[in-house]
Amino acid sequence: MLVMNNRKLGGILLILGITLFFVLLSYNYKLNQQSAMHSCNPNDQCIRISSLLSITNIFIGIIFSIVSLGFYFIFFSRGEEILLKKLEENKKQLTKENRHFTREEKFEIILKALTPEEQQLMRIIKEQEGITQATLRIKTDFSKTKLSFVLADLEKKGLLKKELAGKTNKLYIKEGVLNISKHI
């Protein structure tokens, strides 16, 4: 539902931005015609037209920002919704089966909803609770930046917690993640 709202907002921003762009484009065209008609010698009329042209150019930049934001909301903000959808599908399927799961089965179910990089990190952290971020970087061969982004995503999803340990972080699977109810 969150993504549906993002898509609607993105569509509205896109339509608004395109409409404003064409309005300003026609206004800018008329100002250029007036400028040419007055052959713009340094007089009050030409200075006014010149300043209005500058303002319209600034607004065109703002409109492109709105259009870009609209594109983002429509096309690139789907990650969380996809994760929630996958988890919900798994939950429905598992509820139908009505069976008890081991901690390992629960962990594998959670991993299905994650990206391959997130899965790799979760498996390593599960094997070695309290692993430092520096050691994890060596084991995965991820760049510092990539590792930080993937770990931040796992933290946002509520699967991971970091504890500051000197100049690095120790990583743990968040309590309760593997203690999901028996019927998930």
Q: How many residues does the chain have?
A: 184
Residues 90/109, Cβ–Cβ less than 8 Å: yes
Range of the structural domain that residue 134 is part of: 101-173
Residues 67 and 106 in one domain: no
**What is the amino acid identity at position 141?**
D
Percentage with pLDDT > 70 across the chain: 80
Distance CA(174)–CA(126), nearest Å, equals: 10
Residue 159 included in any domain: yes
What is the enclosing helix (H) or strand (E) of 152? helix 144-156
pTM (2 decimals)? 0.46
Residue 69 included in any domain: yes
Q: How many independent structural domains does the chain possess?
A: 2
SS3 5: helix
Given this model, what pLDDT does residue 183 score? 39
Q: What is the mean pLDDT of residues 130-156?
A: 89
